[in-house]
Amino acid sequence: MFKIAVIGGSDSVVGFKALGLDTYEVDSPEQARKTLHEITKPREDEYAIIYMEETVAAPILADIRKYDERPSPAIILIPGRDGPIGLGQSALQEAVEKAVGSNIL
């Protein structure tokens, strides 16, 4: 069975926990990197989608890019409590350009 996870600061993940998603509170880039690698290890109940707060993702983008070519999990960058910083939008734009061949956004 596939699951959904959320990685971010405590203020950002608390609402997702109320919705029943698996949440992982992180305080540092190293903790975010370790959590990402831990929850993406192959197992019976894999995560199909991992939402990650943009501010947490920014320092570990190289690690996140390693998952771009894999079908699962889809790592989706979301704005944090303080609003978007543009990483999620640019990731979406890159995915659209790759799929369509040009920037239609």
| pTM listed for this prediction | 0.80
Per-residue pLDDT of the chain (105 residues), as tens digits, is 789 999 999 888 988 998 999 999 999 999 999 999 999 988 777 899 999 999 999 999 999 989 888 878 889 888 877 766 666 566 666 665 555 566 655
Rounded CA-CA distance 72/102 in Å is 24
Question: HSE-up of 18 (CA within 13 Å, CB side)?
Answer: 6
In contact, 103 and 96? CB cutoff 8 Å = yes
Question: What is the pLDDT at residue 79?
Answer: 84
In contact, 4 and 51? CB cutoff 8 Å = yes
